[in-house]
C-alpha cells in the first residue's frame, strides 16, 4: 500500500460483523469474557480498544513503523517516552522545542532526577560534545516550534547509535506526509495528533510510532500502566482526520509558500522564517530529508511588542489561538502564548523575541489569507 492508500485503509478493514466501511466507535470501557482469563481480544479500554487499535495501526504504517501507541495528548506521549528512563539518566534535547515539552522536561522530569541539556541540535558538534556516560537519548524537534530550525536527522541518528543512545523525533510540524524519521534512523517518532494528523482542531491527542519491538513492548506497558489513553471517540476523530492528511498537507504547504513570499516583500515585516525559503539556514537539510516544508510560517514585525500584539488581534481569518495544523489558519504570539513557560532570558537567547509571530497557514483561499494579513499589518 502506498502512502495515500494507507491513510485511508491501513488498520481499517471493513467491520467483520456489519461490513461498515468506517471503523466503528467502540464506546465501551470493558468487554464481556466467556470465562475468567479468556477474552475475545480486549479486556478493558485502558489496555486496548478496537477504535484506538485502528488509529495506532494506521499511524504506524504512515510512519513506516510497526507499532503505534496512542495517548490522550501529545504531552502524554512525550511524558510516557520519558518514563523509559531512571533517575540520573541524561537526555540531550533540542532547545527550541514546544514550550510544553520544555516545561515537562524542566519542571516535572527533572524532579524525578532526569537531567537535560538543551541545545541547538542542528549543530552536530554541540550535540556530540554534550553526550555524557549517563546520556540515554537525543530528543529532536525538527523543524522546531516556533523558530523552524532544521536538524539533520540521519546524522543525529548515526551519532546517537554510534554512542549507544536512542533518538526520538517530534514529527508534529511535518507529519508523516512530509517527513518519516524512522526511515532516517530514528528509534521513536512522537506526534501531537492534535495538529496535522487530526487536522480539524476538534480533538487533542498524541501518538508514538516505532519499529523497535522491545521499545514498543515497554511503551505499551507504560501506556496501560500510566493510563493517559485517548477515548474511543477521540481515536475515531483522529483517524477520520488522517484520511485526508496527504491532500491537506499539500494545500497547507502551497498556501504557506504564498504567505511566506508575501511577507518577505512586506514593508512592515522584519524577517520571515520558513524552511522553504532559500535563505533559510536549514533549507538544504530540509529538502534532503523531507518531501516538503510544511505549513508553519514565523515572522517578526518591525516595531515593538505592541505592534506584534496589534497584528495578532487584527486578523479576521487567522484566528488568534494556540495550536496549529488544523484546516483553519491560526496566528499566535509565542513569547506570550505557546512559549511563555520558557524563561525570558532563554527566549531572548533563542530568538523568540517580542515581535515574533507564528502562523499556522490553513487551507482557505490564499487570496483571502494574504488580504487578511495585509490589512492587519497595515493597521
Ligand atoms: O498539545 P498536545 O497535543 O499535548 O501536544 C504538545 C505538543 C508537542 N509537540 C509539538 C511540536 C507541539 O507543537 C505540541 C503542542 N503545541 C501547541 C499547542 C502549539 O500551539 O504550539
- Categorise residue 87: left if φ over 0, alpha if ψ from -120 to 50, beta otherwise: beta
Nearest to 80 by CA among 113, 118, 50, 108: 108
Q: What residues pair up with 60 in beta bridges, in sequence order? A: none
pLDDT 10s digits, 165-183 = 999 999 999 999 999 999 9
Burial (CB count within 10 angstroms: exposed 0-12, middle 13-18, buried 19+), residue 97: buried
Pocket test for ligand 1, best of 70, 73, 74, 206 (most atoms within 8 A of CB): 74
CB 338 near ligand 1, within 6 Å:
yes
Q: For the chain, what are the domain ranges? A: 3-242, 245-378
The whole-number pLDDT of residue 281 equals: 98
Q: What is the DSSP letter of 184?
A: G
The whole-number pLDDT of residue 379 equals: 84
Q: What is the DSSP letter of 96?
A: S
Distance between CA atoms of 102 and 173, rounded to whole angstroms? 16
Distance between CA atoms of 209 and 70, rounded to whole angstroms? 9
- Give phi and psi for 359, each to the nearest 5: -110, 135
Indicate if 38 belongs to the active site: no
Low-confidence spans in the chain with pLDDT less than 70: none
pLDDT 10s digits, 302-359 = 999 999 999 999 999 999 999 999 999 999 999 999 999 899 999 999 999 999 999 9
- Topology of domain 3-242, CATH: 3.40.640
CB 73 near ligand 1, within 6 Å:
yes
Indicate if 170 belongs to the active site: yes
Indicate if 46 belongs to the active site: yes
Biggest CA-to-CA distance, the chain? 73
Distance between CA atoms of 20 and 48, rounded to whole angstroms? 21
CB 141 near ligand 1, within 6 Å:
yes
Distance between CA atoms of 218 and 103, rounded to whole angstroms? 24
Nearest to 318 by CA among 375, 277, 280: 375
Indicate if 347 belongs to the active site: no
Instruction: State the architecture of 245-378 in CATH terms.
Output: Alpha-Beta Complex (3.90)
The whole-number pLDDT of residue 72 equals: 98
Amino acid at each position: 500500500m502506498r502512502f495515500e492508500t494507507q491513510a485511508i485503509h491501513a488498520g481499517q478493514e471493513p467491520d467483520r460483523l456489519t461490513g461498515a466501511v468506517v471503523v466503528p466507535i467502540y464506546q465501551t470501557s470493558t468487554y464481556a469474557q466467556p470465562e475468567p482469563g479468556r477474552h475475545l481480544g480486549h479486556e478493558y479500554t485502558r489496555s486496548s480498544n478496537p477504535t484506538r487499535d485502528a488509529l495506532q495501526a494506521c499511524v504506524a504504517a504512515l510512519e513506516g513503523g510497526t507499532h503505534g501507541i496512542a495517548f490522550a495528548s501529545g504531552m502524554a506521549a512525550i511524558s510516557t517516552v520519558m518514563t523509559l528512563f531512571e533517575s540520573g539518566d541524561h537526555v540531550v534535547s533540542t532547545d527550541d522545542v514546544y514550550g510544553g515539552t520544555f516545561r515537562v522536561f524542566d519542571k516535572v522530569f527533572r524532579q524525578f532526577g532526569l537531567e537535560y541539556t538543551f541545545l541547538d541540535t542542528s549543530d552536530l558538534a554541540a550535540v556530540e560534545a554534550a553526550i555524557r556516560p549517563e546520556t540515554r537519548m537525543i530528543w529532536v524537534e525538527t523543524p522546531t516550534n516556533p523558530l523552524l530550525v532544521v536538524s539533520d536527522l540521519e546524522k543525529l541518528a548515526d551519532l546517537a547509535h554510534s554512542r549507544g543512545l536512542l533518538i526520538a523525533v517530534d514529527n508534529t510540524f511535518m507529519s508523516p506526509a512530509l517527513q518519516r524519521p524512522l526511515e532516517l534512523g530514528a528509534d521513536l517518532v512522537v506526534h501531537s495528533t492534535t495538529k496535522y494528523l487530526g487536522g480539524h482542531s476538534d480533538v487533542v491527542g498524541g501518538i508514538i510510532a516505532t519499529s523497535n519491538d522491545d521499545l514498543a513492548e515497554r511503551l505499551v506497558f507504560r501506556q496501560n500502566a500510566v493510563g493517559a489513553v485517548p477515548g474511543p471517540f477521540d481515536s475515531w476523530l483522529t483517524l477520520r482526520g488522517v484520511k485526508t492528511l496527504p491532500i491537506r498537507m499539500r494545500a497547507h504547504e502551497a498556501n504557506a509558500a504564498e504567505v511566506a513570499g508575501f511577507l518577505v516583500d512586506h514593508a512592515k515585516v522584519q524577517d520571515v522564517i520558513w524552511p522553504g525559503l532559500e535563505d533559510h539556514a536549514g533549507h538544504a537539510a530540509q529538502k534532503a530529508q523531507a518531501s516538503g516544508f510544511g505549513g508553519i510560517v514565523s515572522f517578526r514585525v518591525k516595531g515593538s511588542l505592541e505592534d506584534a500584539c496589534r497584528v495578532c488581534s487584527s486578523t479576521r481569518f487567522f484566528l488568534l489561538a494556540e495550536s496549529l495544523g488544523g484546516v483553519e489558519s491560526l496566528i499566535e504570539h509565542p513569547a506570550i502564548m505557546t512559549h511563555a513557560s520558557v524563561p525570558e532570558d532563554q527566549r531572548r537567547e533563542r530568538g523568540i523575541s517580542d515581535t515574533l509571530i507564528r502562523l499556522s497557514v490553513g487551507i482557505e483561499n490564499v487570496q483571502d489569507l494574504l488580504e487578511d494579513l495585509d490589512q492587519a499589518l497595515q493597521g
